[in-house]
A and B are shown apart, each in its own frame.
Chain A
Amino acid sequence: MKELMLGNKAVARGLYEAGVEFVSSYPGTPSTEITEEFVKFDDVYAEWAPNEKVAMESAFGASLAGRRAFCAQKHVGLNVAADPLYTMSYTGVNAGMVIVVADDAGMHSSQNEQDSRRHAIAAKVPMLEPADSAEALEFTKLAYEISETFDTPVLVKMCTRVAHSQSIVETGERKEFKKDYEKNIGKYVMMPGNAKKRHPIVEERTRKLAEYAETSPLNREETGGTWLGIITASTSYQYVKEVFGDSVSVLKLGMTNPLPENLIKNFAKKVERLVVVEELDPVIEEAVRAMGIKVEGRNLLPGIDEFSQNKIRAAFGKNFGVGESLEDAIPPRPPVMCAGCPHRGLFYTLKKLNCTVLGDIGCYTLGAVPPLAAMDMTLCMGASIGALHGFTKVNNEAAKNTVAVIGDSTFVHSGMTGLANVAYNQSKGTIIILDNSITGMTGHQQNPATGKNIKGEPAGRIDLEALCRAMGINRVRVADPYNLKEIEAAVKEELSVDEASVIISRRPCALLKEVKHKAPLKVDKDKCIGCKSCMKIGCPAISMKDKKAVVDANQCVGCGVCAGLCPKNAFSGVEG
């Protein structure tokens, strides 16, 4: 049956048709929907793991047990899971093991723009790159064949424009797959003596994979005009076809590691000018140049941001027109914390107290946006607590006004080990866990602190208070960020004590279905003096009209944080 399908859903469909039984992932844009879509099939198992490393190790275990297994993550998630990946390359697999890594050129929802192809090369594992949903489905299935034939984990690289674009796919039937587990110490126990014997096998495998790449249907030559030959892959292929159609020759690579040297050399011989069109790092270009072939690429197109058809047109000197624009300055519209976001009251308080705020990855990174602007650092998952430890260790005074802020899901992902360091090596900062009972930014996924599994069914639940105490933090308290007085008192007190403490700022995400909203607030125009105190929290539901505050009833959820700031009690409608 033909249907229009999101790239990520097509991967999930491919997993299903390939007979995959086990999927374990940690959510991360743009990879999240693969796991969310896969779990909708009957008789399969999928889960949210605490982080990407655990997810990949769990999938490896399932492969070892003889079932086709899978994990997905965004590009930076693969950094977390790099440790198991690099040695799984040595052990190989039992049943097929496929890993999706989703890059985010253009950084639509990421903290860096790294190119995951570098991981494939360094880990010495094959990498496939689909260019649309149909290929996402087909390549995923084929990846399992490659994994089992060559005894290797296989990386499938998605990118935002393939993961989050819908195009037409044709679906097939599921084929079940089962294998037995056989003990094999030399293959699966990677201690030096065994690993030394496995490394040559890895090198030989890469040689065989390169041979396979020469004739694999994954790589194809599309013969057109010979005045220009373009080597390309992934979504860049689509932009090339959009601009040039069949007027140039194209070598489309569906497998970008290892590269088919002879195929590339033969293609280069047929064309007058050879250009590689690839987003981010010049990985293919450098490899082609190392083959002794004259090639262009980075001289025409930048290694920054994603491509589009106009960028390709500009690079090749082709004309294109752009539409009208107004003389007015168009104000930017950056993302903001939602109306009723429980993080808002906390960040208002941290700004008021002039705290140094070491941040983390999640919706609360938006605490850095004006007018709150209450954030000093954001690096990677879990870094807030590690950085707080170092920051306060070298400057005892700093502990009196420096905090780490980290979400519930991020804390479980990789904040726990940072807290272990704080407790063990005795630093004195204040850690604030923003427990909104969900993984928010990626679109509401359950996690080990919510008590529900990926299907929303009851599951195990980490007791965050008990956990922090068990790790050796003596001062652990809970405060409600909707209650500005309560949260301010908690932050002030914990900053003043001469030991590490944890504040759990607890209030579920206002977008959760089970959260009941209160009636929108109203402003009494006679009472409002236009002092703009309520504007300091940066709520998108509040604006000024004719020097009086106005609440947008469509957005307001009645959280009442603004009312707590009004010196004239001009807000009404707060219940209880």
Chain B
Amino acid sequence: MMETKNIIIVGVGGQGSLLASKILGDLFLTKGYDVKVSEVHGMSQRGGSVITYVRFGDKVASPVVDEGEADFIVSFEILETARWLSYLKKDGQIVTNLQEIEPMPVITGAAVYPENLAEKIKAKGVKVDALDCLDLAKQAGSAKAVNIVLLGRLSHYFDIDEKLWEEIIEKNVPKKFLELNKKAFQLGKNA
């Protein structure tokens, strides 16, 4: 029996994590796994810290991933990567955007945004794959494609045919943005 694999997608409310989790969910369903995806809607979608859980395997019970359980952290923002770090399993893999988005307490001066987070996380002996997804998304044609850039990068860690990834993306994005998203996926993958 295959052990359940756990992915958490973290970021700032409104960054597009719901689409990323939808695509991952569909992908693993198509591969024949039992899948659960858990999201949070409402208040925290207004610029707050958000976490989405994706789990797949032979039989998945809990819809959420707990501390110390994540095989992958997929992160839209480096402070959020640091915030949810304790969710990573020993030997887990992080795929993260290097973008910094200041939370309100930092903007108002009540708190400080820590420096060199990616290096500090690496210094803990954690496997970190960090890239500037915002820049790549802009290269693809839209700052909003950060989510697909991240998925492109994540695809390295799964033995799943690239064609299937693209098929699932096609199912989940509007037609007029398909080419843009395909480009974003490739840019993330080859970064």
Contacts and interface: CB of A to CB of B under 8 A. Distances in A.
A6 B34 CA distance: 14
A29 B68 contact: no
B64 interface: yes
A325 B114 CA distance: 13
B38 A333 contact: no
Contacts of A442: 42
Contact of B46 (A238, A310, A326, A338): A338
B120 to A, nearest CB: 6
Contact of A324 (B62, B104, B111, B126): B126
B63 A165 contact: yes
Interface stretch (A170-178, A365-373, A415-423): A365-373
Nearest to B12: A333
23 contacts: A29-B42, A109-B42, A161-B63, A166-B38, A241-B62, A309-B69, A323-B70, A323-B87, A323-B88, A324-B85, A326-B114, A330-B82, A331-B111, A332-B49, A332-B111, A333-B48, A334-B105, A335-B13, A336-B48, A337-B46, A366-B46, A369-B104, A443-B42
B103 A331 contact: yes
Contacts of A331: 79, 103, 105-106, 111-114
Given A167-B60, A328-B82, 9 more contacts: A164-B38, A168-B35, A320-B68, A323-B67, A331-B106, A333-B48, A333-B80, A370-B104, A543-B102
Contacts, number: 195
B67 A167 contact: no
Contacts of B170: none
Contact of A309 (B37, B66, B104, B107): B66
Interface string B8-33: 00001110000000100110010000
Contacts of B114: 326, 328-331
Contacts of A544: 107
A308 B64 contact: yes
A388 to B, nearest CB: 24
Interface string A321-355: 11111101111111111100000000000000000
Contact of B63 (A32, A235, A338): A235
A297 interface: no
Interface residues of B, number: 64
B191 to A, nearest CB: 20
Nearest to B92: A323
Contacts of B110: 370
Contacts of B42: 29-30, 108-109, 441-443
A3 B29 CA distance: 8
Interface of B: 12-14, 22, 25-26, 29, 34-49, 60-64, 66-70, 79-80, 82-83, 85-90, 92, 102-108, 110-114, 117, 120-121, 124-126, 134, 143
Contact of A334 (B48, B61, B90): B48
A62 B4 CA distance: 45
A277 interface: no
A554 interface: yes
Contacts of B80: 333
Contacts of B111: 329, 331-332
Nearest to A239: B62
Interface in A415-464: 441-443
A323 B86 contact: yes
